[in-house]
C-alpha cells in the first residue's frame, strides 16, 4: 500500500488525473484526492486534469477547477494516475512522463501498474474505495466524503454489482456519516436522465437485437446519430446496463461511433461471462462483469468478432 502522507510530505507541486471519457469513479477519485490534498497540504499547489465532466457531477465541490492538460508544460513533484494506466490519460500523459514521482492507484485487473509506486487492487469495488483506504481520516470532510461516495455508487451500480463487498458497504457507511444528502446524490448523479438521454436510450432499446439464443443483447449508436442529436459520450451512460437487464440475457454489448471511424465498445455480463477477457483481445480491459475497448472496425464486423468470443464462454 502507498504511504500517502510520506509521499506528499515534501511535495510542492502535485497533479492528479484519470482516464479519457471520465466516469463517476474517475471524477470522484480525482476530486476526492484533490480536495484532500488541499485540506492536508494547504501550502502545496495541486491541479486536477481531466476531460470536461458531465453536468451531473457539478455537485462535487470545486469540480470547475478541473483543467485540460493539453497546453500545460510543467514538471510536477508528484503525478497521481487514478482509475487507469498512463496510456489512458489522454492529454495528461506527457505530464505523467515528466513528473519527478508517479503514483498509480487503480482497481482494473488489466492494469499492471505504471507508476514509481502502484496500488492496484482488482478486488476493490472502485478507485474511490482505494483512495479512502489511503487518506488520513482527520482531513476528510463532507465534500471529500461526497466525492468518494459518488464514485463508489457509480462503479457498483448503487451497490448492486458483484464487485460490491462487505468492505465496500462499511466504507459507504463511514462516508454517509459525514452528513451529505445521499438519496439526492443517487437520484441526481445515477438515475436522473435528461430528455436527450431518455430519447437516445429509448431508441437503442427499441432497435436492440438478441443473439446466441437470447443470451446476448446488442445495441448501437452510429457517429451520424451522435452528430445529428448532439450527443456526448456521457449521454450514453447506462445504456449497456439496460441491455443487460433484458430477461434471459447473460451479456450485453453496446457500441457508439467515433469521429475517426472507430467504435467504442462497452460490455457487461450478469453471472459467468468474463467480459474483461474479451476486451483484452482488442487492447481494452476492465472488470470481469464490466469492461470496454475501442475497435478499429465497423460495428457489424466488431460484433461478429465479439460474439465469437462470448460464445466460447457460454
**Which residue range is the domain that position 262 belongs to?**
195-311
The verdict on 155 and 241 lying in the same domain is no
Please give the mean pLDDT across all residues of the chain: 97
Task: Give the residues across from 147 on adjacent strands.
Answer: none
The verdict on 38 and 121 lying in the same domain is yes
Q: What is the pLDDT of residue 115?
A: 97
Quick one: cell of 55? Answer: 453536468
pLDDT of 1 above 90: no
Let me know: does 13 contact 45? Beta carbons within 8 Å: yes
Q: What is the mean pLDDT of residues 4-17?
A: 97
Query: From CA 232, how far away is CA 21, in angstroms rounded?
Result: 10
Domain count of the fold of the chain: 2
The verdict on 58 and 117 lying in the same domain is yes
The verdict on 69 and 38 lying in the same domain is yes
Which candidate, 193, 190, 213, places its Cα nearest to that of 204?
193
Contacts made by residues 69-76, CB under 8 angstroms, sequence distance 24+: 69/17, 69/94, 69/95, 74/13, 74/15, 74/98, 75/99, 75/100, 76/13, 76/14, 76/15, 76/47, 76/100
The verdict on 121 and 235 lying in the same domain is no
Let me know: does 56 contact 179? Beta carbons within 8 Å: no
Instruction: Read off the CATH number of the domain in which 120 is found.
Output: 3.90.1640.10
The verdict on 22 and 140 lying in the same domain is yes
The verdict on 216 and 184 lying in the same domain is no
115-167 per-position pLDDT tens digit: 999 999 999 999 999 999 999 999 999 999 999 999 999 999 999 988 999 99
The verdict on 71 and 181 lying in the same domain is yes
Instruction: Read off the CATH number of the domain in which 304 is found.
Output: 3.10.310.30
Query: Which of 191, 209, 226 corresponds to the end of one domain?
Result: 191
pTM: 0.90
Q: What is the pLDDT of residue 109?
A: 86
The verdict on 154 and 245 lying in the same domain is no
pLDDT class of 7 with cuts at 50, 70, 90? very high
pLDDT of 287 above 90: no
Amino acid at each position: 500500500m502507498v504511504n500517502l502522507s510520506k509521499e506528499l510530505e515534501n511535495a510542492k507541486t502535485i497533479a492528479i488525473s484519470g482516464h479519457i471519457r471520465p466516469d463517476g469513479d474517475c471524477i470522484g477519485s480525482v476530486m476526492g484526492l484533490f480536495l484532500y490534498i488541499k485540506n492536508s497540504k494547504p501550502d502545496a499547489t495541486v491541479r486536477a486534469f481531466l476531460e470536461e465532466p458531465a453536468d451531473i457531477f457539478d455537485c462535487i465541490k470545486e469540480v470547475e477547477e478541473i483543467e485540460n492538460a493539453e497546453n500545460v508544460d510543467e514538471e510536477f513533484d508528484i503525478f497521481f494516475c487514478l482509475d487507469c494506466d498512463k496510456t489512458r490519460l489522454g492529454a495528461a500523459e506527457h505530464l505523467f512522463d515528466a513528473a519527478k514521482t508517479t503514483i498509480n492507484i487503480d482497481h482494473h485487473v488489466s492494469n499492471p501498474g505504471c507508476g514509481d509506486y502502484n496500488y492496484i487492487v482488482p478486488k476493490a469495488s472502485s478507485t474511490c474505495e482505494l483512495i479512502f483506504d489511503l487518506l488520513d481520516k482527520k482531513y476528510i470532510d463532507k465534500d471529500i466524503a461526497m466525492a468518494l461516495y459518488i464514485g463508489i455508487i457509480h462503479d457498483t451500480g448503487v451497490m448492486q454489482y458483484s464487485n460490491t463487498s462487505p468492505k465496500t458497504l462499511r466504507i459507504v457507511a463511514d462516508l454517509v456519516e459525514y452528513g451529505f444528502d445521499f438519496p439526492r446524490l443517487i437520484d441526481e448523479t445515477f438515475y436522473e436522465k435528461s430528455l436527450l438521454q431518455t430519447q437516445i436510450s429509448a431508441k437503442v432499446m427499441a432497435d436492440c437485437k438478441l443473439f446466441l439464443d437470447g443470451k446476448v443483447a446488442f445495441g448501437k449508436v452510429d457517429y451520424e446519430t451522435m452528430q445529428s442529436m448532439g450527443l456526448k459520450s456521457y449521454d450514453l451512460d447506462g445504456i449497456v446496463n439496460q441491455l443487460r437487464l433484458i430477461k434471459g440475457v447473460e451479456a450485453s454489448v453496446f457500441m457508439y461511433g467515433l469521429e475517426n471511424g472507430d467504435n467504442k465498445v462497452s460490455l457487461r455480463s450478469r453471472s459467468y461471462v468474463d467480459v474483461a477477457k474479451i476486451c483484452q483481445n482488442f487492447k481494452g480491459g476492465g472488470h470481469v462483469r464490466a469492461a470496454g475497448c475501442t475497435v478499429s472496425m465497423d460495428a457489424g464486423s466488431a460484433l461478429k468478432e465479439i460474439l465469437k468470443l462470448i460464445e466460447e464462454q457460454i
